[in-house]
């Protein structure tokens, strides 16, 4: 019997979760030891360093074999708004964000499984590309090929965008200044990331939305 489970956790403000690698550290410490026992899994980050949150979803055919590990992870962190419990991957990964409206009635389960497999492949690749860094974890470095500026994950991202012709939308944001009505620095983030930033602070303005072709 396959168990589908999800956890939404709030990370503490202390090391190794107080820096930009808070998700990487969580994955290296808590997900990596379980990866070989999981049929499917994926994870995402929210918040910011020192106030980060993670969601970890997985499916396994041997939940009893990892129950103690899962309960230990859920017991050492505060839970986020979505809590911890059963994971409806079909409803999640076969929803409107992942499938065109005209196909939802017939293809939802099939699309959800494909998305789950894709996310799992990406998660396994990420797990294989991280390494210990003091008390935490970081992405392995690769710059000698002249293809990457920091990590080989950049090449994986580029190849996916290249072979699917999916562009990257980069939002240029105008941040508020320290003084009233003053302008601060510009920030460049992904389109999806920018929506959360602008929602959290109405003073942040979208300046441009360039389309980056790979």
- At 104, the pLDDT band (50, 70, 90 cuts) reads confident
Tell me: do 104 and 184 sit in the same domain.
no
Tell me: do 97 and 24 sit in the same domain.
yes
Tell me: do 125 and 179 sit in the same domain.
no
Tell me: do 176 and 81 sit in the same domain.
no
The per-residue pLDDT for range 25-67, each reduced to its tens digit, is: 999 999 999 999 999 999 999 998 999 999 999 999 999 999 9
Distance between CA atoms of residues 151 and 193, nearest Å: 21
Host domain of residue 30: 3-137
pLDDT computed for residue 151 by the predictor: 96
User: What total of structural domains would you count in the chain?
Assistant: 2
The per-residue pLDDT for range 136-195, each reduced to its tens digit, is: 999 999 999 999 999 999 999 999 999 999 999 999 999 988 777 778 899 999 999 999
147 occurs within a structural domain? no
The per-residue pLDDT for range 184-209, each reduced to its tens digit, is: 899 999 999 999 899 989 999 999 99
85-89, 98-102, 163-167: range with lowest mean pLDDT:
98-102
Tell me: do 181 and 101 sit in the same domain.
no
What global pTM score does this model have?
0.91
Tell me: do 28 and 89 sit in the same domain.
yes
Tell me: do 127 and 183 sit in the same domain.
no
159 occurs within a structural domain? no
Tell me: do 20 and 102 sit in the same domain.
yes
The per-residue pLDDT for range 1-34, each reduced to its tens digit, is: 999 999 999 999 999 999 999 999 999 999 999 9
């Amino acid at each position: 019997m396959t168990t589908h489970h999800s956890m939404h956790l709030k990370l503490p403000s202390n090391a190794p979760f107080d820096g930009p690698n808070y998700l990487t550290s969580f994955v290296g410490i808590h997900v990596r030891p379980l990866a070989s026992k999981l049929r499917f899994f994926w994870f995402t980050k929210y918040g910011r360093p020192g106030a980060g949150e993670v969601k970890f979803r997985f499916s396994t055919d041997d939940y009893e074999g990892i129950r103690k590990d899962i309960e230990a992870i859920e017991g050492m962190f505060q839970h986020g708004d979505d809590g911890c419990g059963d994971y409806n991957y079909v409803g999640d990964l076969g929803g409107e964000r992942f499938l065109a409206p005209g196909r939802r009635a017939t293809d939802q389960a099939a699309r959800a499984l494909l998305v789950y497999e894709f996310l799992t492949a990406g998660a396994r690749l990420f797990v294989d590309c991280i390494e210990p860094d003091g008390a935490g974890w970081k992405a392995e470095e690769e710059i000698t090929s002249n293809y990457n500026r920091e990590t080989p994950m950049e090449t994986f991202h580029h190849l996916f965008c290249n072979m699917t012709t999916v562009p990257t939308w980069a939002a240029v944001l105008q941040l508020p200044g320290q003084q009233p009505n003053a302008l601060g620095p510009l920030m460049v983030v992904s389109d999806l990331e920018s929506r959360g930033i602008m929602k959290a602070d109405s003073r942040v303005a979208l300046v441009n939305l360039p389309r980056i072709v790979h």
